[in-house]
Amino acid sequence: MKRNKLVIGLLSVCVLAFCMSCSKSGKPAVNNNTSDGAQQTGNAGKIAYVEVDTIFMHYKMAKELAVVFESKSKQLDADLNSKSKTFQGTVLDFQNKVQKGLITSSNAQEVQKQLQAQEQELYKLREKYQAELADEGQVNQRQILQSIMAYLKEYNKTKGFQYVLANSFPSSILYADSTLNVTNEVIEGLNTKFKIAKK
């Protein structure tokens, strides 16, 4: 959930930067195509918006990266759980031997040190896996954002919007005319481009 909020926040910042660069140029392209709702309402060269959550739900690149990330997350979690169970079994066996007097006190101290070292290794391994997943998640986010921003620049060559806003919930956009929503068009373009790139 936190990862999704971060992605949406980053996308909003990137889209805003893109909008500012478009508005500074002052040369929006003219499009005679009136199939888009924003064009029909006379807002060509002005404002459109995309639903960020919807893009992430339907953009094939985001979905594929999410599947790979989830698979890796489960794999690392399973590995950590397996090692933790083995460690717990060793601890229980040690405690059982101590209670039954089957191990000398000097040996018990030595085993206890070894168990403490193993426990520390498990903590380090957990931290390593968490850092690895966090890093991969950030790389995935940057890849998706870069892809969306690159497509919006290409998309806007024919649309001529000065602003393409990112709408999500919650958002600073409290109301937007639905005719300015170009989300489906952007998703379709993103998926087409992604499909071609994969080939």
Could you read off the pLDDT of 84-127 as tens digits, one per residue? 999 999 999 999 999 999 999 999 999 999 999 999 999 999 99
Residue 155 maps to a domain: yes
In a domain, 147, yes or no: yes
* 169 assigned to some structural domain: yes
Show Cβ contacts of residue 42 under 8 Å, excluding neighbours closer than 6 positions: none
**Cα angle at 68 between 65 and 73, to 5 degrees?**
120
Under DSSP, the state recorded for 41 is T
Average of per-residue pLDDT values in the chain = 83
Residue 52 forms part of a structural domain: yes
Compute the distance between CA of residue 145 and CA of residue 8 in angstroms, rounded to an integer.
9
Which residue range(s) make up the domain with 16? 2-24+43-198
Evaluate if residue 25 carries a pLDDT over 50.
no
Query: Residue 35 domain-assigned?
Result: no
Q: Is residue 31 a part of any domain in this protein?
A: no
Q: Is residue 114 part of a domain?
A: yes
Do 188 and 72 form a contact (C-beta atoms < 8 A)?
A: no
Total number of domains in the chain = 1
pLDDT given at position 20 = 41
How many Å apart are CA 27 and CA 21, to the nearest integer?
Answer: 11
CATH number of the domain at 56, please: 3.30.910.20
Say if residues 91 and 115 touch (Cβ distance below 8 Å): yes
- Specify whether the CB–CB gap between 147 and 31 falls below 8 A: no
List the Cα angle 98/102/107 in 5-degree steps.
70
Per the domain annotation, does 34 fall within a domain? no
Structure tokens at 67: 């599947």
Q: What is the pLDDT of residue 148?
A: 94
